[in-house]
Structure 1
């Protein structure tokens, strides 16, 4: 570890390299730590300080313990624990001293301010005007009070010194009056002079301290005026920002109105007519229309004539495939009448900007949000909505050709986004251990189970098995960042689809979802990015591209294009359409390099294709969907109460149920209770894990990372086991079985008490 930039532990800021325990594979890793204003933050490198903080602990409520000569541990009430190691004992002691001083100061300041009670203290968040804007001023006042207290202590000491000094001088004078012989008398006079000088010096020190306090108090008035001016300026700047955003919105609408007046009748705005005048957030990275990767042209008629009956039967564009045959009618008849309505959404007013402006650049999964932002389903239920168009996988399971099967798998991948087009509400973050089952075996032939297997980062495991020949599994971790005018939601994780008949194993990932017009205008959703659907059995691949919305594009909005290729890279099918309406496919008969230059000077590929046919089409929304959070017919049934489900099922979640019933104030109170209960459970698990570590590590080997076999949080999911994926090499959770058997028996032993 190098020397910290500021080597004085008593300073407000202390920086330096420290080794941090990461995991049992990588062990201790070198990280850059910064101690400032009672917060200890760390980064991978010094360059990350400007943009990416990896973690922060508020020392006001933290405990600091020493393991051995170089190791020390910082824990914040069970929510966060850092195991750290310095390069030497001297360096470790410097950090301990700096941390203890910062902890004392942070605890003193926190005692003078209100505690928010959230996982993340208010001191780590930006200060909102009119709410916490006086925090700098209160810090100055606290510093002055501390100085005043120290000067009073010095004054007390001065009085004592004066009192005892006077007594000492009197005693010395009395001894001097005894007229002791020569050398002894000289000694007494020297002692008397030194006592007088000591008294004069102490008086001068006290007077200097008083002058300093008076000077600080005089400057305090100027500091207060300066801080007040800064707060007023900040408020004016925020008001100006909102006004500029509104003007920007009006100018864009005026521009589009003029453009539409001179353009063709078809509307290509974000809402395809109904919401185009509300678009307020174009990032302008796609301001110039992006050139397509390929061009499709009608194939020569000879290809239609030369195709033999035996070969054309297998072509998606010539005849309906076997998988298009109707399924048995008795399987399609629902055996249970499910609800078609939920209570209408209440008209609650909410100042979105007043809450979101303090979240810029932060991960929203770690910031408590009121239910006013939510829709009354959990993320586990939202994940189960991917099965809205499960029949695409049913058809894929009947395919004889892996390339044809790839078309349906790709269409299923795109169809999962059709439910998001109007859904601007945020799902409830599931509690750790929360589950959701979707049993549609009698109606549709499949059963689905989701479980929240991790809280930070939030991760959900999903397993679906169908009697019609396919299995779907995924583990999704959602990362979200608020960027001021838009919110980016980035799903992390891999989706697997396996077909029993052919043993084909497909994988793909999700694209980024962006919520626009956070500050001003009507919220709207966009999907952008690229997806590679890979068949690991045959090597076939489908490359899908979700084009981001652009004002200046001549193409349709929400466009998706794709090419299905075999393991040799030869194109067999071209896919096109939109992620909110439908997808079509065309069989490629011939391909060639075009004469026009594509992006980056490359030639575009020209595919000669047969006539396009529909592959997938979105189901219409139920009547009155706009007053029911724009839920689909499937979404309306997800939170319907059902007997026999696990005690951890999302349907039993009380705050979500209260919100669906329109009792939002009660829902907010219940949400806070559940989150606090979850935090308490985690602290208890960490205490148990710490006890286990203490009992398994003897005194001589304490602090050895190789012996820390017990994790900090010994939580283990109930229905999923953590293991390494054989296809991707990722650490994932795999369904361990037993849920549906437990449901049949009505035996739910081992389920955590989370509600």
Structure 2
């Protein structure tokens, strides 16, 4: 096997060990037969010569000696023939004893192939049946949304019949059991015009003070779309808005992946045909597309309010994955990527590939608007035959400068479906626990897996924000591909008992406020790898960047230009170059070991491994020096990786 950077690994011989011994023995017997054959031919020729000489004799006196010689030759030939016969008999016995084993092995392989073919055929039939069912019932796909919108419309009309102020509407939510699913029901607004002391589980302040108290929430829910998404600042530099269209090259993914079931994805050699012209470092930086959520979180006076914006930010990073089924380039060891938008958007970001096996990237973001984010992410992935699981490992840290609130969370699992047949699509599933290690506030978010038969909204995300005492303050709801809303809890009570015997808690809330809404994709995005506006600018050439920056990676640049054949050749060159560096490093490690010296191995250039003060985990954190080196244009410490 070879990984995506070209590092070769010895293939496993476990599946061949059962045949290795018999084949070796058979080869030895075949050599014996060949030797005997040569001896028979040699002695047979000598016998023929002796017989010819015997026939040419005229003198009877010489007859005795010649006859004696003929007898000796004949005896030797008979011995050799017997050896030949015995060798043939051994070969036959050995072949017969192992033929049944070979037959069983071949039959097993044949049955496996037949089962795989039947599975593929069944999946294809199921896929076609589902497509026909969806086409035959066009209202089914939108049924859930229609029901939800109808229920909501009825709720709004009912509320309007009893009160003119829509902001004083109150909704009810079923609290989370194992999954944070809930149902909204309109209630009488008069029921909630009570003092705060009468509200069980209420957040601080009166419900009628929702708009006054939460000015930050209100600014996130303005009628103007551009204002609500924070696009009030125009960039000073004009960025590109398109890249060359994706070429139409046909390539069968299953033909490559079928031999890789159960293997680590990063160790499978893949052509650029399955990539998108961005590296994993750039995809990691793309999580900052909705950075304005963190800018607004800085202004929150309450830590639970701030948690809502942090939760919305954690969900927003998945919005770009709904159409992005292509694989980003695996970064080379020592590869970096910077995104300096300090003057335009108030932040600057730096990523570095700090490990190759396992592949790990360190990321650091500083914002002059009052926050810092850092993380070390390792991508683990497994191909399971029907789907591909991508598990990001590592914690994300976020700290606000003024309050000192330190948030930590981890990413959920991404799953790529329809690897065998059908159109590729991505789903996000799992749970995220966001913890404020200063105030001990928590937010539990549930990413509901997509199901054809579920009545829930597809890609649904729900959650509850609670304080250190476990009292719920806000309910989070939305979808990871469109928007996230926040509803303030004013009352909680025990509801009905579930089928599992657990008693549900019903949360009574005010009207939801939109915290985040996805930006629309640019025009012609389907021909540009479904890149967002930010993604289109990530690989835009820039001056003064480090020589290890992903923008300078030649195979990635060739792919973006549509020259995929050249990109594949260049990719192999880069992999071979990195393989040579790794072999040299391994040789140095062996030499140091023989001399009794310590060998440190690869050391990242801009990051260093430290124990986190909050979680105690070891991770690579930014040690400084990059932006100063950029100002001086001193890149002498950078390795030559391209």
TM category (shorter chain) comes to 0.7 to 0.9
Matched with 1:751 is 638
The more displaced of 602-611 and 225-234 is 225-234
Partner Cα separation in structure 2 for residue 398 and residue 551 of structure 1: 41
Matched with 2:215 is 320
- What aligned pairs does 1:332-343 form with structure 2 within 5 A after superposition? 332-343=233-244
- Structure 1 residues 330 and 261 mapped into 2: Cα distance closer, same or farther (>3 Å)? closer
Partner Cα separation in structure 2 for residue 682 and residue 439 of structure 1: 31
Matched, 1:610 2:510: yes
Partner Cα separation in structure 2 for residue 229 and residue 310 of structure 1: 74
The more displaced of 354-363 and 143-152 is 143-152
TM-fit CA distance, 1:151? 6.1
Matched with 2:120 is 242
Matched with 1:20 is none
Matched, 1:505 2:406: yes
- What aligned pairs does 1:126-525 form with structure 2 within 5 A after superposition? 144-149=26-31, 208-216=86-94, 236-257=114-135, 265-266=143-144, 293-298=181-186, 301-302=189-190, 305-306=193-194, 315=210, 319-321=214-216, 324=219, 332-525=233-426
- Structure 1 residues 143 and 727 mapped into 2: Cα distance closer, same or farther (>3 Å)? farther
Matched with 1:532 is 433
User: Retained in 2: the 8 A contact 1:331–1:442?
Assistant: no
TM-fit CA distance, 1:251? 2.3
TM-fit CA distance, 1:710? 3.0
User: Retained in 2: the 8 A contact 1:298–1:608?
Assistant: no
Partner Cα separation in structure 2 for residue 748 and residue 375 of structure 1: 28
- Structure 1 residues 293 and 223 mapped into 2: Cα distance closer, same or farther (>3 Å)? closer
TM-fit CA distance, 1:600? 2.4
User: Retained in 2: the 8 A contact 1:475–1:733?
Assistant: yes
Residue deviations 1:3-49 (CA, integer Å, cap 9, x gap): xxxxxxxxxxxxxxxxxxxxxxxxxxxxxxxxxxxxxxxxxxxxxxx
Residue deviations 1:565-618 (CA, integer Å, cap 9, x gap): 0000000000100000001111000111102x2362101110000111111100
Q: TM-score scaled by structure 2? A: 0.79
User: Retained in 2: the 8 A contact 1:435–1:648?
Assistant: yes
Matched with 1:73 is none
- Structure 1 residues 428 and 215 mapped into 2: Cα distance closer, same or farther (>3 Å)? same
Matched with 1:641 is 541
Partner Cα separation in structure 2 for residue 421 and residue 506 of structure 1: 26
Matched, 1:717 2:604: yes
Matched with 2:589 is 689
- Structure 1 residues 254 and 143 mapped into 2: Cα distance closer, same or farther (>3 Å)? farther
TM-fit CA distance, 1:147? 3.3
Q: Secondary structure at the match of 2:215?
A: coil
Q: Which runs of 5+ in 1 are unaligned?
A: 1-57, 59-76, 80-116, 128-134, 160-199, 269-288, 698-708
Residue deviations 1:646-698 (CA, integer Å, cap 9, x gap): 1111011111111111111111111111112111111111111222222226x
Matched with 1:700 is none
Partner Cα separation in structure 1 for residue 210 and residue 312 of structure 2: 17
Q: Secondary structure at the match of 1:533?
A: strand
Residue deviations 1:474-517 (CA, integer Å, cap 9, x gap): 11111111111111111110000000010000000000001111
User: Retained in 2: the 8 A contact 1:300–1:608?
Assistant: no
Residue deviations 1:168-192 (CA, integer Å, cap 9, x gap): xxxxxxxxxxxxxxxxxxxxxxxxx
Partner Cα separation in structure 2 for residue 257 and residue 494 of structure 1: 43
Partner Cα separation in structure 1 for residue 398 and residue 633 of structure 2: 30
- What aligned pairs does 1:5-16 form with structure 2 within 5 A after superposition? none
Matched with 1:549 is 450
Matched with 1:119 is 8
Partner Cα separation in structure 2 for residue 584 and residue 504 of structure 1: 22
Matched, 1:629 2:529: yes
Partner Cα separation in structure 2 for residue 252 and residue 464 of structure 1: 45
User: Retained in 2: the 8 A contact 1:498–1:505?
Assistant: yes
The more displaced of 522-531 and 214-223 is 214-223
Residue deviations 1:160-216 (CA, integer Å, cap 9, x gap): xxxxxxxxxxxxxxxxxxxxxxxxxxxxxxxxxxxxxxxx99998886444213545
Q: TM-score scaled by structure 1? A: 0.68
User: Retained in 2: the 8 A contact 1:316–1:404?
Assistant: no
User: Retained in 1: the 8 A contact 2:399–2:407?
Assistant: yes
User: Retained in 2: the 8 A contact 1:317–1:610?
Assistant: no
Matched with 1:656 is 556
TM-fit CA distance, 1:324? 3.5
User: Retained in 1: the 8 A contact 2:236–2:344?
Assistant: yes
User: Retained in 1: the 8 A contact 2:179–2:446?
Assistant: no
User: Retained in 1: the 8 A contact 2:373–2:397?
Assistant: yes
Partner Cα separation in structure 1 for residue 521 and residue 123 of structure 2: 32
- Structure 1 residues 261 and 330 mapped into 2: Cα distance closer, same or farther (>3 Å)? closer
Partner Cα separation in structure 2 for residue 739 and residue 232 of structure 1: 58
User: Retained in 2: the 8 A contact 1:531–1:543?
Assistant: yes
Aligned residues: 563
- Structure 1 residues 319 and 725 mapped into 2: Cα distance closer, same or farther (>3 Å)? closer
Matched, 1:575 2:476: yes
The more displaced of 347-356 and 489-498 is 347-356
User: Retained in 1: the 8 A contact 2:218–2:513?
Assistant: no
Partner Cα separation in structure 2 for residue 356 and residue 623 of structure 1: 33
Matched with 1:68 is none
Q: Secondary structure at the match of 2:548?
A: coil
Q: Secondary structure at the match of 2:446?
A: strand
TM-fit CA distance, 1:406? 0.4
TM-fit CA distance, 1:315? 4.0
- Structure 1 residues 322 and 613 mapped into 2: Cα distance closer, same or farther (>3 Å)? closer
User: Retained in 2: the 8 A contact 1:295–1:606?
Assistant: no
Partner Cα separation in structure 1 for residue 641 and residue 431 of structure 2: 38
User: Retained in 2: the 8 A contact 1:314–1:321?
Assistant: no
Residue deviations 1:133-161 (CA, integer Å, cap 9, x gap): xx9999976653233236667999999xx
TM-fit CA distance, 1:470? 0.1
Q: Secondary structure at the match of 1:614?
A: strand
Residue deviations 1:399-418 (CA, integer Å, cap 9, x gap): 11111100000000000000
User: Retained in 1: the 8 A contact 2:241–2:533?
Assistant: yes
User: Retained in 1: the 8 A contact 2:333–2:356?
Assistant: yes
